[in-house]
Structure 1
Amino acid sequence: MLGLFDTMVVLGSLALSLAILVPLAGALVRFRAHYNPKGLQLDSEGGVQPHTGPVISSFFSMLRRVHRIEGWPGLYKGLMPSLLSTLVITIFLMIFLSDSNLRHGTYSAPDAGVVGILVYSIFAMLVSLPQVIITNRAITTPHKLPYLNPIYSLRVLLTPTERRRPWILYLTPGLLATQVAHIAYIVLGLRSIRQLLLPELANPGLPRSEEISPVKLVIFFVIALLSTIILTPLEVIAIRLSIQRNHAAPEFNSISQEEEGDADEATEYAGVEEDVIGLRTEREPYVGLIDCGKRIIEEEGWGALYRAWWLTTLGSLSGAFS
């Protein structure tokens, strides 16, 4: 167990990291969730109509737009689910890990080979999936959610079907497949290649420069960079699918989203006359991983699948060499 001083240090660093990361993560989720179809669309009668929603071209443009329209509270949407999940993980580490391990940040996934790490990673994803869905929806909802009223917030974010049968969140079309594909590529792909080319990086501490082949290091660096081509679309698709609510009313099919009744009394931001982002129509939901990717390309173009690709590249490189 940690002493009082160490506990305060851990909690202080946790608060600082959330203060910095929550606005950045929120802008990323909104940027990738934003529905920005091509200039001309067909209406229900086959006529051509121009798209009138906001056009947001970059991650930093989204960050500025959130602050302009919703202010600082908008930048910290999703704070409470992020804080609660982080606190649970931190308390677990403080209880079950030694003082020195936690202080020096030596905790990692169990070293049980590629298959063991894959199983561990998928299990961790399954445990955290409801929290990810709720966080992404809290970030993208146009409604103002109270920090200390989770019942009200869940009524806004979840459909009656999802509240009655919360396990249906795991059946959100294509979401589990997307998350598993993302994890499998990193663990079976990048990690296996790293173990093959640079096994020295798996050892504790920093390896000496003479232990690493410069040629193999460059090869692995290039592979990690090229992984952005695969990982970024999976991350964009995962966000799109996670905000797609499940509904089972007779007039809808089982994957259609609810349009009325959830947020009739939800509070809007004062003085806000426009939404921060546009969301895709609820009448035609994505039906799976492949369908989501195809529709994004057809309706919005290839660029929508690679929004903020450079953040994925940074994550791939830091994860590959950690």
Structure 2
Amino acid sequence: MGFINFIMLAGILAASLGISLLITVPLTGALVRLRANYNPRGLQLDAEGNIEPHTGPVVTSFFGMLRRVKRIEGWAGLYKGFMPTLLFSLVLTIFAVTVLDANSPSRTGRVDPPATGVTGTLMYSLLSMLVSLPAAIITYRSITTPYKLPFFRPLYSLRILLTPTERRRPWVIYLTPGLLTAEVLHVAYTALLLSGLRSLLLPRPGSDDYTFSTFRFGIYLAIEILSTAVLCPLEVITTKLAIQRNHAAPEYNSVEQEVEDDGMDGEAYTEYAGAEEDVIGLRHEKDPYLSFTDCAKSIVAEEGWTALYRAWWITLLGGIASVFATVAPAMSA
């Protein structure tokens, strides 16, 4: 592929992705905020061991969170995370189309590999794991930060989103407690297990030697529906771990608050609400999740097991949409 053709392809993909993200980014932002919101059931202890009631926002519904974002942060707040979502989606899409020659690259918010062979699936899965972790960190923090992030000032935005430790040693983000485990499990389940089952049960796009079977379609649809029980908790845990910032002061835990100033001097979204009110509440940085298992146990103990299934129906609809998008060409033939 020539350089001019590559630039034209990138421009077309960026334009199409940008249009679709105009619709999906506000919805994704509400979903991330809902799953990131820290809403403990009981009383908490402060640093001195005194009982202190939880004073953060209690939002339990997806559309309730969407309305809250609009009320406090306005339209600009609804589109927080637009640029990192566009950039990371564009990277994976260009890789799938140009390197793997795929005609159906992965859909936004889902780690489905494109329609390629085993080698292509492994290549895409590896790149996805390498890209998805920093993508999750930057995108989720962009969405949950109370500060305004200019679209075209990436260095300023990174100073707000990343700690001094993360800016000096970017590889530290791959050591975020539990996050790599969550990403590997998610990618392994969707890009390897579900992809393998899909190739066995459903017709591949462009294949002439495979006929559509209602029975096999029903089996795979049921698998996708039941997978919600696995994927939704992984997505909730990933969200909570991705927004947990890494610090490196020697007298503190490696994920706790640093002594030095984080440089968070940006403009906050307070002009819409007229008061110092954040959209969501977050767990204190001096009480971090220490691992994937610790995060899961802490969520259940502090917020209840239902917190692992916040907006489960969105994960379910995403899986069903993935199935129908795969078999649509065969069903219409």
TM-score w.r.t. the length of structure 1 is 0.85
Aligned-partner Cα distance in 2 for 1:88–1:229: 29
In structure 2, the residue matched to 1:122 is: 126
In structure 2, the residue matched to 1:32 is: 35
In structure 1, the residue matched to 2:306 is: 303
Compute the RMSD of aligned alpha carbons: 3.0
1:76/1:287 CA distance change after superposition, 3 Å: same
In structure 2, the residue matched to 1:167 is: 171
**What 5-or-longer segments of structure 2 have no aligned partner?**
107-112, 327-333
1:51 has 2:54 as partner: yes
- How big is each residue's C-alpha offset from its partner over 1:262-314, in whole Å with a ceiling of 9 and x where there is no partner? 24422112234210000001111111111100000000001110011111112
Identity of counterpart residues, as a percentage?
55
In structure 1, the residue matched to 2:251 is: 251
1:156 has 2:160 as partner: yes
Aligned-partner Cα distance in 1 for 2:139–2:92: 16
1:207/1:229 CA distance change after superposition, 3 Å: farther
More off after superposition, 49-58 vs 299-308: 49-58
Contact 1:244 1:257 in 2 (8 A): no
Contact 1:118 1:184 in 2 (8 A): no
More off after superposition, 253-262 vs 291-300: 253-262
Aligned-partner Cα distance in 2 for 1:217–1:90: 27
Aligned ranges for residues 1-322 of structure 1 at < 5 Å? 10-44=13-47, 47-89=50-92, 105=104, 109=114, 111-113=116-118, 117-118=121-122, 120-196=124-200, 198=201, 200-204=202-206, 211-214=212-215, 216-258=216-258, 261-269=261-269, 270=271, 271-321=274-324, 322=326
More off after superposition, 294-303 vs 267-276: 267-276
More off after superposition, 162-171 vs 83-92: 83-92
Aligned residues: 313
1:211/1:131 CA distance change after superposition, 3 Å: closer
**How far 1:111 moved relative to its partner?**
2.7
**What 5-or-longer segments of structure 1 have no aligned partner?**
none
Contact 1:258 1:282 in 2 (8 A): no
Give SS of 2:56's match: coil
The residue type paired with residue 274 of structure 1 is: E
**How far 1:82 moved relative to its partner?**
2.0
Aligned-partner Cα distance in 1 for 2:6–2:35: 42
**How far 1:188 moved relative to its partner?**
3.7
Contact 2:159 2:264 in 1 (8 A): no
1:47/1:308 CA distance change after superposition, 3 Å: same
Contact 2:255 2:285 in 1 (8 A): no
Contact 2:133 2:183 in 1 (8 A): no
